[in-house]
Chains A and B, each alone.
Chain A
Amino acid sequence: MAMVDVLLRRPHPVKPTASGMSRKRSLWERIHLDPWLLGLLLALMSAGLVVLYSAGGQSMHIVIAQAIRFGVALAGMVIIAQFSPATLLRWALPAYLVGMLMLLAVEIMGDMGMGAQRWLEIPGVVRFQPSEMMKLAVPMMVAAWLSRRELPPRWQDLLVCALLIGAPVLLIARQPDLGTSLLVAMAAVFVILLAGLSWRIIGVLAALAAAALPLLWMNMHDYQRQRVLTFLSPESDPLGAGWNIIQSTTAIGSGGVWGKGWLQGTQSQLEFLPESHTDFIVAVLGEEFGMIGMLAFLVLYLLIVCRGLWLAGAAQESFGRLLAGSIILTFFIYVFVNIGMVSGILPVVGVPLPLVSYGGTSSVTLLAGFGILMAIHSHRRLLPR
């Protein structure tokens, strides 16, 4: 036990009568937030708002709307951070089941002729995207399942996991929302990988996945295939699907090392960039702040990832550790896929740049994830051991 304590560098338990020395530390302890992570996130969001002002056509309206969303999402993060991992573990199954029911509801409504229906809506009251919730619920479920098994997981455990993951992912892919379904799948897979899945099994599964690619291709929607084809050769359709890629790479490339300056990007300011304030906001960043600006953001993201992984590693229990690790790695996948698609090394999938792209849902989910992360970290010493 002592050795574990040393390994985890567990702080001394807080006494009810806090001394003056420990009061400062105890403030963060008491509100269950990680100051480093919070600081990095606030820095990222602030910088994001600056870029958004330019990308959104210099509209204060958009910036304020986004700031309000950030506020709401931060509040959600703080609230979630107050729950202990044990509570989260209890929630895992109910959350997963409710999510699945809602996905089925969306599926049925989609069949009722609503087309690409991704939302559940009680008109005038609330509009909800169940697939977004599954980004957290599925890895929670998988982590909960695995944390009760002996690790590393075996074939039998994998089979259960495959079912737990496959069902929601297929439903989301059918909506159709390829980007989200891949992110959900990935978040869950990260849990399994972090749990110590043997390399042999990873190899076999990777081979199977590669073999299944043609099958995936055959089940894709035309527009999804078109995206892949366009990615392979954007110039083949310069005014259609390739337009986004051509314009965004042009924006980034023309930014050079130092960029054209804030609000000076012609590509973005002149509306050559589609979706410049949502999924393609990186192009604005690259054009106006150049490679320096891009690297600064990349470094900020890497610091968040590293801090997140450190917090995950400091968790006492498998469930929290696996979930936290999965959340933070998924966060990086967002970053990588978004920058990769806008700079033209990945096909276009609807993945926003975390905490920078305009949009409420992803901010809420992401910050809720960070809330879980902080909860896992800050509640650890309260766990009965």
Chain B
Amino acid sequence: MRQPRDTLKNPQQELRIFRLRSLLAVVIVLLLSGLLAGRLFYLQVVQHEKYSTRSEKNRVRVEPLPPTRGLIYDRNGELLAENRPTYNLTLVRERVDDLDATLALLVDLLDLPADQVEAFRERSRQRQRPYQPALLMSDLDEEQIARLAVNRHRLPGVEVEAQLLRYYPDAEAMSHVLGYVGRINTEELQRVDAGNYAGTHFIGKTGVERFYEDTLHGQAGLRKVETNARGRVLRELGHTDPVPGENLTLTLDKGLQHLAVDLLDGRRGSIVAIAPQTGEILAMASVPGFDTNQFVTGIDVASYRALQQDIDLPLFNRAIRGSYPAGSTIKPFMAITGLRDGEITPDEVIYDPGYYQLPNDSRRYRNWLRWGHGRVDLERALEVSNNTYFYSLAHELGIDRIHDSLAQFGFGTRVAADVYGQGTGLLPSRDWKRARFDQPWYPGETLSVGIGQGYLQITPLQLASATAVLANRGDWVKPRLVRETGDVPMPLDLDDTPPDVELEHAEWWERVVSGMEQVLSGNEGTARRAGAGLEYRMAGKSGTAQVFSLGQDQRYNADELKERLRDHALFMAFAPVEDPQIAVSVIIENAGGGSSHAAAPARAMTDYWLLERDHGEIPPEEEADIEGEG
């Protein structure tokens, strides 16, 4: 198998072979070098442009500069929503020399709780992009900041970062009307202009904060920065300043709002006050409220669940979403409807035996006074809140005309120009009933609507708004919450302001108003106790609403059952009669026995607005006039 072989080595042959092979190697080396050179030519000459662009994109990053959110003031310039700087302690791992020593020093300086340090260590174990500041502690107080400043040189990589955080000084009283901001969620990110919100962490969730989000937010600025691949900013190449959000001046009066909340005194209910001539919402309270500041930083699950499951529904904005039977507060509007449609005149008298019977029907629709009020005209019907009068009127008008007329006062619609989340209440009609129940409208149901019961449901805001229209003798001004955005006053005439309500004889307005004045001032007035000692002329109407439940899923326990079956107390009023400055609606849930419970708060509201408030703008002699009329 093995050939006999010359065991002598042959140096010449070996050298020859080696030289040949090295020559071949040189050729291959040159070929491979040519391949590299070709690759370089392709990258650096042929594709140069493409890679230049890519390299440029790598280098320059555009960073958004979030605008500062606009502030919110009340009508007197009192701050209702501000931006407070809070300070967070952050740590950049890459710049910290000795993490353990640094943490130990921080624990020493700040009394940092051990579990917070442990949590931080846990978080920093997870991989993250380098040079990203990691949050170690939020909301530092001034002493802590000072201690850090003094020890700054010993703490490389440790930084105190300022962040503007929304703060509501009157959180509880203003919670529903003002709303609050919270962290943007993904759903909201899809709604807003992503570019403009790129650096923004908070967005208006409800209330004014939500409705005026665009105004308050402002325009984001841009900063072109040179960065490295780790996102570390090396230098700035240019920037556009952000445009801060505009400040809002609300129509609300902080004092009146607080008064409204105080008047409700922890009872579930709502008070809305409107300046009739301008539509300015002066107060809009829904009690109970909650601390909106909790929601800015992110409320914890337990607290949120507690709020959600609270039987008093603190998160529910009763003023704009609560639906209540109007009760007798609907009667002035029924009266106007009857007058306008010619079914009654102010002097027409009906006889009340204590009940009303539909023709060809034996069922008796009772007055609240079993034995009746006897002879009743329009004004007395309002003063004593006679049901029979309005049963009769409702029957003659029929549901169709009642529906159309009440709609003109704003019932069944969202009345305010700039209030987020308004409910519509319920203004029933034949069509509605057909669609809802697939049933015809029965005449008896018209009678119920005529005294504010049955299917009819209103919101406190609607009632206040309709009262303002009544106070204006039919002139519509849409309720609004904002007076000025930036320094620009909000226009009074809005495109979608409903048409004014008109009567053939203008003095008929005064007859209705007169009847309402008697509610507070007349001998038989249902709210005469609340009207005692009036220093100005005030018109009002009480109402009692049979109970309904706010939510289907509400759970009642036996003790509360009784209380929550009581009637709701309602009152609507405006004053002064001859020159209305304020229209109020008050609704107190389950206040029980008699509507006077709601009349007193209404009186307190008008008293405050007309007498007690420090009017900068009202001259002294005018005040004397009011005094004289009382």
* Min CB gap A130→B, angstroms: 28
Indicate if the CB atoms of A256 and B44 lie closer than 8 Å: yes
Would you give the 0/1 interface string for B45-59, flagging 1 where the beta carbon is closer than 8 Å to chain A?
101101110111011
Residues of A with C-beta under 8 A to B232: 271
Indicate if the CB atoms of A271 and B44 lie closer than 8 Å: no
Q: Does B533 contact A (CB under 8 A)?
A: no
Query: Which of B17-25, B103-111, B352-360, B441-449 binds A?
Result: B17-25
Which residue numbers of B lie inside 8 Å of A, CB to CB?
Answer: 5-7, 9-15, 17-19, 21-22, 25-26, 29-30, 32-33, 35-37, 39-41, 43-45, 47-48, 50-52, 54-56, 58-59, 226-230, 232, 234
User: How far is it, in angstroms, between the C-alpha of A88 and the C-alpha of B55 when the chains are bound?
Assistant: 50
Residues of A with C-beta under 8 A to B52: 253-254, 256
Further 19 A-B residue pairs, CB within 8 A, beyond A253-B44, A255-B44, A322-B18: A150-B7, A249-B43, A252-B44, A256-B44, A256-B45, A266-B56, A271-B229, A286-B40, A291-B41, A291-B45, A298-B33, A298-B37, A305-B29, A313-B19, A318-B18, A321-B18, A329-B25, A332-B29, A340-B36
Among B10, B43, B51, residue most surrounded by chain A Cβ atoms (within 10 Å)? B43
Would you give the 0/1 interface string for A4-43, flagging 1 where the beta carbon is closer than 8 Å to chain B?
1001000000000000000000000000000000000000
Would you give the 0/1 interface string for A139-155, flagging 1 where the beta carbon is closer than 8 Å to chain B?
00000000000111000
A-B contact pairs, 25 of them (CB 8 A): A150-B9, A150-B10, A151-B9, A194-B22, A195-B14, A195-B17, A196-B21, A250-B51, A252-B40, A253-B52, A257-B45, A266-B59, A270-B227, A272-B59, A287-B55, A290-B44, A298-B36, A306-B26, A309-B22, A313-B15, A318-B9, A321-B14, A321-B18, A325-B18, A344-B43
Chain B residues touching A, majority SS: helix
- A152 with B17, Cβ < 8 A, contacts A256-B44, A295-B37, A343-B40 known: yes
Chain A residue, CB-CB nearest to B19:
A313
Q: Does A193 contact B (CB under 8 A)?
A: yes
* Min CB gap B41→A, angstroms: 7
Residues of B with C-beta under 8 A to A298: 33, 36-37
User: How far is it, in angstroms, between the C-alpha of A250 and the C-alpha of B44 when the chains are bound?
Assistant: 9
Residues of B with C-beta under 8 A to A329: 25, 29
Q: Does A267 contact B (CB under 8 A)?
A: yes
Interface residues of A, count at CB 8 A: 50
Residues of B with C-beta under 8 A to A309: 22, 25-26
User: How far is it, in angstroms, between the C-alpha of A345 and the C-alpha of B10 when the chains are bound?
Assistant: 42
Residues of A with C-beta under 8 A to B32: 332, 336
Residues 260 to 278 of chain A near chain B (Cβ within 8 Å) = 266-267, 270-273
Chain B residue, CB-CB nearest to A259:
B44
Indicate if the CB atoms of A254 and B51 lie closer than 8 Å: yes
Would you give the 0/1 interface string for A79-93, flagging 1 where the beta carbon is closer than 8 Å to chain B?
000000000000000
User: How far is it, in angstroms, between the C-alpha of A298 and the C-alpha of B41 when the chains are bound?
Assistant: 13
Q: Does A312 contact B (CB under 8 A)?
A: yes
Q: Does A251 contact B (CB under 8 A)?
A: yes
Residues of A with C-beta under 8 A to B11: 4, 318
* Min CB gap B30→A, angstroms: 8
User: How far is it, in angstroms, between the C-alpha of A167 and the C-alpha of B185 when the chains are bound?
Assistant: 60
Which residue numbers of A lie inside 8 Å of B, CB to CB?
Answer: 4, 7, 150-152, 193-196, 247, 249-257, 266-267, 270-273, 286-287, 290-291, 294-295, 298, 302, 305-306, 309, 312-313, 318, 321-322, 325, 329, 332, 336, 339-340, 343-345
Indicate if the CB atoms of A150 and B5 lie closer than 8 Å: yes
Indicate if the CB atoms of A336 and B36 lie closer than 8 Å: yes
Partner of A291, one of B21, B22, B40, B230: B40
User: How far is it, in angstroms, between the C-alpha of A325 and the C-alpha of B29 when the chains are bound?
Assistant: 13
Chain A residue, CB-CB nearest to B59:
A266
Among B32, B44, B50, residue most surrounded by chain A Cβ atoms (within 10 Å)? B44
* Min CB gap B521→A, angstroms: 79
Chain A residue, CB-CB nearest to B22:
A309
User: How far is it, in angstroms, between the C-alpha of A352 and the C-alpha of B43 when the chains are bound?
Assistant: 21
* Min CB gap A178→B, angstroms: 20
- A318 with B40, Cβ < 8 A, contacts A253-B50, A332-B29 known: no
Residues of A with C-beta under 8 A to B54: 250, 253-254
Work out how many contacts link A and B, with CB atoms closer than 8 A.
Answer: 151
User: How far is it, in angstroms, between the C-alpha of A87 and the C-alpha of B441 when the chains are bound?
Assistant: 119
User: How far is it, in angstroms, between the C-alpha of A235 and the C-alpha of B7 when the chains are bound?
Assistant: 58
- A325 with B22, Cβ < 8 A, contacts A151-B9, A266-B58, A340-B36 known: yes
Indicate if the CB atoms of A302 and B51 lie closer than 8 Å: no
Indicate if the CB atoms of A302 and B33 lie closer than 8 Å: yes
User: How far is it, in angstroms, between the C-alpha of A274 and the C-alpha of B25 when the chains are bound?
Assistant: 33
* Min CB gap A300→B, angstroms: 12
Residues of A with C-beta under 8 A to B21: 193-194, 196, 325
Indicate if the CB atoms of B48 and A270 lie closer than 8 Å: no
Chain B residue, CB-CB nearest to A287:
B55
Indicate if the CB atoms of B44 and A291 lie closer than 8 Å: yes
Among B6, B12, B32, residue most surrounded by chain A Cβ atoms (within 10 Å)? B32
Chain A residue, CB-CB nearest to B24:
A193
Indicate if the CB atoms of B26 and A343 lie closer than 8 Å: no
* Min CB gap B54→A, angstroms: 5
Indicate if the CB atoms of A270 and B45 lie closer than 8 Å: no
Indicate if the CB atoms of A343 and B43 lie closer than 8 Å: yes
Indicate if the CB atoms of B17 and A253 lie closer than 8 Å: no
Chain A residue, CB-CB nearest to B36:
A339
Indicate if the CB atoms of A294 and B14 lie closer than 8 Å: no
* Min CB gap B372→A, angstroms: 85
* Min CB gap B516→A, angstroms: 73
Residues of A with C-beta under 8 A to B14: 151, 195-196, 318, 321
* Min CB gap A302→B, angstroms: 6
Partner of A270, one of B12, B30, B44, B58: B58
Indicate if the CB atoms of B17 and A196 lie closer than 8 Å: yes
* Min CB gap A64→B, angstroms: 21
User: How far is it, in angstroms, between the C-alpha of A272 and the C-alpha of B226 when the chains are bound?
Assistant: 12
Residues of A with C-beta under 8 A to B59: 266-267, 270, 272
User: How far is it, in angstroms, between the C-alpha of A110 and the C-alpha of B56 when the chains are bound?
Assistant: 44
Chain B residue, CB-CB nearest to A146:
B14
Indicate if the CB atoms of B18 and A194 lie closer than 8 Å: yes
* Min CB gap A285→B, angstroms: 10
Residues of B with C-beta under 8 A to A152: 17
* Min CB gap A77→B, angstroms: 22
Indicate if the CB atoms of A151 and B17 lie closer than 8 Å: yes
Chain A residue, CB-CB nearest to B2:
A156
Closest 3 CB pairs of A and B: A253-B51, A271-B228, A196-B17
Indicate if the CB atoms of B18 and A196 lie closer than 8 Å: yes
Among B12, B29, B35, B50, residue most surrounded by chain A Cβ atoms (within 10 Å)? B29
Residues of A with C-beta under 8 A to B10: 150-151
* Min CB gap B327→A, angstroms: 66
* Min CB gap B460→A, angstroms: 55
Partner of A325, one of B25, B33, B37, B41: B25
User: How far is it, in angstroms, between the C-alpha of A29 and the C-alpha of B30 when the chains are bound?
Assistant: 31
Chain A residue, CB-CB nearest to B30:
A302
Chain A residue, CB-CB nearest to B5:
A150
Residues of A with C-beta under 8 A to B26: 305-306, 309
Residues of B with C-beta under 8 A to A318: 9, 11, 14, 18
Chain B residue, CB-CB nearest to A338:
B36
Indicate if the CB atoms of B18 and A253 lie closer than 8 Å: no
Residues of B with C-beta under 8 A to A150: 5-7, 9-10
Indicate if the CB atoms of A267 and B39 lie closer than 8 Å: no
User: How far is it, in angstroms, between the C-alpha of A318 and the C-alpha of B40 when the chains are bound?
Assistant: 38
Residues of A with C-beta under 8 A to B230: 271
User: How far is it, in angstroms, between the C-alpha of A270 and the C-alpha of B22 when the chains are bound?
Assistant: 43
* Min CB gap B93→A, angstroms: 16
User: How far is it, in angstroms, between the C-alpha of A272 and the C-alpha of B37 when the chains are bound?
Assistant: 24
User: How far is it, in angstroms, between the C-alpha of A152 and the C-alpha of B579 when the chains are bound?
Assistant: 122
User: How far is it, in angstroms, between the C-alpha of A253 and the C-alpha of B55 when the chains are bound?
Assistant: 9
Residues of A with C-beta under 8 A to B48: 253-254, 256-257
Residues of B with C-beta under 8 A to A344: 39, 43
User: How far is it, in angstroms, between the C-alpha of A339 and the C-alpha of B40 when the chains are bound?
Assistant: 9
Partner of A272, one of B39, B41, B50, B228: B228
User: How far is it, in angstroms, between the C-alpha of A196 and the C-alpha of B45 when the chains are bound?
Assistant: 41
